[in-house]
A and B are shown apart, each in its own frame.
Chain A
Amino acid sequence: MNSFVKAAGAGFIALGLLNSTALAQDSWWKTAAQPLQGATIRGISESTPASKYVEQVLGPKFTAETGIKVEFEATSWDQMYDKAIKDMEANTGIYDFVYIEQDIVYTYLARNFLVDITKSLADNPKIASPDFKPDNFTTFLNYFKDPKSGDVMGVPMEAFIKPYLYRKDLFDDPAIQKAYKDATGADLKPATTHEEYTQIAKFFTEYGKDKELWGSTVQAASSHPASFYEFFESIAPTFGVYNWGIDGTTFAASVANGGQMNSDAAKKALNYWVGLLQYAPPESTSSTWDEVAGSFAAGRAAQGLVYGENAAWIATDANKSTVVGKVGVALPPVEPGVMEAAEAGKGYIGYYDGGAFGIPHSSKNKDAALLFLQYIGQPSVQTDWALAGSRIVMNSTYDDPKIVEQDKAMNGYYSLMREDGKLFAGAPPYPFHAQVLQVAAPFIYKAIVGEIKPDEALDQAAAAAEAELQKLGYRK
Chain B
Amino acid sequence: MRQSNVGWLFLAPASLILFVVGFVPFLYILYVGFFDWNTNAVDPGLRWAGLQNYRSLVFDPTFLNSLTRTLVFAFIVVVSELLLGYVLARALMADRLPGRQFFRTIHTLPIVVAPIAVGATWRLLCVPGLGILPHYMKLWFGIDYNISTNAYHAFGTAILMDIWHWTPFVTLSLMAGLTALPKEPLEQAQIDGGNKLQIFWYVIVPMLKPVLLTTVFIRLMDALRSVDEIWMLTKGGPAEATRFIGLHIWINVFPKTDYGYGAAMSLLTLYVTIVLSWLLFVAMTGRKGGAQ
Q: Are B254 and A223 in contact (CB under 8 A)?
A: no
Q: How far is the CA of A176 from the CA of B129 in the complex (A)?
A: 25
Interface residues of A (CB under 8 A from B): 81-82, 85-86, 89, 107, 110-111, 221-224, 281-283, 285-286, 431-432, 434-435, 437-439, 442, 445-446, 448-451, 471-474
B40 touches A107 (CB 8 A): yes
How many Å from the CB of A95 to the closest CB on chain B?
17
Minimum distance in angstroms from B128 CB to a CB of chain A: 4
Interface membership of B167, Cβ < 8 A? no
Q: Give the A-B contact count at a CB cut-off of 8 A.
A: 98
A89-B39 in contact (CB<8A): yes
Asked if B146 is at the interface (CB within 8 A of a chain A CB), the reply is yes
CA distance A89 to B42 in the complex (A): 17
Closest chain B residue to A438, Cβ basis: B256
Q: Are B42 and A223 in contact, CB atoms less than 8 angstroms apart?
A: no
- Interface membership of B115, Cβ < 8 A: no
Known contacts: A222-B149, A434-B256. The answer to whether A445 contacts B239 by CB under 8 A is yes
Docked complex Cα distance between A223 and B239 (Å): 5
Cβ of A241 to closest chain B Cβ, rounded Å: 22
Chain B interface size band reads: 35 or more
Residue of B40, B130, B134, B254 near A82 (CB, 8 A) is B254
Task: Verify if B234 is at the interface (C-beta below 8 Å from A).
Answer: yes
> Once the chains are docked, how many angstroms separate the CA of A474 from the CA of B44?
12
> Cβ of A451: which chain B residues have Cβ within 8 Å of it?
151, 239
Q: Evaluate contact between B146 and A473: CB separation under 8 angstroms.
A: no
- Cα A221 to Cα B123 in complex, Å, equals 13
Q: In the bound complex, how far is the Cα of B130 from the Cα of A110, in angstroms? A: 42
12 pairs of residues in contact across A and B, judged by CB atoms under 8 Å: A86-B254, A107-B40, A110-B40, A222-B148, A222-B238, A282-B146, A283-B128, A283-B130, A442-B239, A448-B149, A449-B150, A451-B239
**In the complex, how many angstroms separate the beta carbon of B140 from the nearest chain A beta carbon?**
17
Q: How far is the CA of A308 from the CA of B253 in the complex (A)?
A: 32
Other A-B pairs beyond A283-B129, A283-B130, 20, CB < 8 Å: A89-B39, A111-B40, A221-B235, A222-B149, A222-B238, A282-B129, A435-B256, A435-B257, A438-B251, A438-B252, A445-B237, A446-B240, A448-B149, A449-B238, A451-B151, A451-B239, A472-B40, A473-B42, A473-B43, A474-B42
Q: What chain A residues lie within 8 Å of B62 (beta carbons)?
A: 442
Chain B positions within 8 Å of A86 at CB level? 254
Expressed in whole angstroms, the minimum distance between the Cβ of A44 and any Cβ of chain B is 16
B238 touches A472 (CB 8 A): no
Identity of the chain B residue whose Cβ is nearest the Cβ of A439 in the assembled complex? B256
Kindly state whether residue B255 has any CB partner on chain A within 8 Å. yes
Residue B173 interfacial (CB < 8 Å): no
Assembly CA distance A86 to B258 (angstroms): 14
**A214 — nearest CB in chain B belongs to which residue?**
B129
Nearest CB on A from B101, distance (A): 40
Task: Please report the C-alpha to C-alpha distance between residue A162 and residue B146 in the assembled complex, in whole angstroms.
Answer: 28
CB distance from A213 to the nearest CB of B (A): 12
A285 to B255, CA, bound (A): 22
CB distance from B151 to the nearest CB of A (A): 7
B243: nearest residue on chain A (CB-CB)? Answer: A223
- Chain B residues with CB under 8 Å of A221's CB are 148, 235, 237
CB-based contact B234/A223 at 8 Å: yes
Counting from the closest, the 8 A-B pairs by CB-CB distance are: A223-B237, A282-B129, A473-B42, A286-B148, A222-B238, A285-B148, A223-B235, A283-B129
Nearest opposing residue in chain A for B250, CB measure: A82
Which of chain B's residues have a CB closer than 8 A to the CB of A82? Answer: 254-255
Q: A282-B146, A472-B41 are in contact. Are A222 and B255 (CB under 8 A)?
A: no
Chain A residue at smallest Cβ distance from B39? A111
Do A432 and B40 touch (CB < 8 A)?
yes
Max count, chain A CB within 10 A of own CB: residue among B62, B149, B240, B251: B149
Whether B279 is near chain A, meaning CB under 8 Å from some CB there, is no
Flag if B240 contacts A445 (CB, 8 Å).
yes
Q: Is B108 an interface residue (CB 8 A)?
A: no
Q: Tell me the bound Cα distance from A434 to B258 in angstroms.
A: 11
Q: What separation, in Å, do the CA atoms of A85 and B237 have in the docked complex?
A: 24
Instruction: Produce 1/0 per residue, B243-263, CB < 8 A to A.
Output: 100000001101111100000
B255 partner, pick from A81, A448, A474, beta carbons under 8 A: A81
Interface residues of B in 63-92 (CB under 8 A from A): none
Q: Please give, as numbers and ranges, the residues of chain B lying within 8 Å of A282 by CB-CB distance.
A: 128-129, 134, 146
Please give the distance in Å from B192's CB to the nearest CB on chain A.
Answer: 57
Q: What CA separation (Å) do A82 and B251 show in the bound complex?
A: 11
Assess whether A222 is in contact with B237, with CB atoms less than 8 Å apart.
yes
Does B255 lie within 8 Å of A286, measured CB to CB?
no
CB of B38 closer than 8 Å to a CB of A: yes
**How many angstroms from the CA of A224 to the CA of B242 in the assembled complex?**
13
Q: Which residues on B sit within 8 Å (CB–CB) of A224?
A: 235, 237
**How far does the Cβ of A28 sit from chain B's closest Cβ, in whole Å?**
40
Interfacial chain B residues near A281, Cβ < 8 Å: 129
Which residues of chain B are near A89, meaning CB under 8 Å?
A: 39
- Decide yes or no whether B236 CB sits under 8 A from chain A: yes
| Contact (A442, B129) CB under 8 Å given A81-B255, A434-B40 | no
Q: Check if B213 is an interface residue, CB within 8 A of chain A.
A: no
Whether A434 contacts B255 by the Cβ 8 Å rule is: yes
- Contact present for A449 and B127 (CB under 8 Å): no
Give the shortest distance, in Å, between A184 (CB) and chain B (any CB): 26
- Chain B CB count within 10 A is highest, among A82, A286, A438, for A286
* A434 partner residues in chain B, CB cutoff 8 A: 40, 255-257
Contact A449 B234 (CB under 8 A): no
The distance in angstroms between the C-alpha atoms of A329 and B150, with both chains bound, is 34
Q: Please state if A286 and B40 are interface contacts (CB–CB under 8 Å).
A: no
Known interface pairs A223-B239, A438-B251. Does A285 touch B146 (Cβ–Cβ under 8 Å)?
A: yes
Nearest CB in chain B: distance from A264 CB, A: 24
Contacts of B243 in A (CB 8 A): 223
Bound: A411/B256 CA distance, A: 41
The residue of chain B having its C-beta at the shortest distance from the C-beta of A288 within the complex is B235
Q: How far is the CA of A439 from the CA of B256 in the complex (A)?
A: 9
- What does the 1/0 interface line of B22-63 toward A look like (CB < 8 Å)? 000000000000001011111110000000000000000010
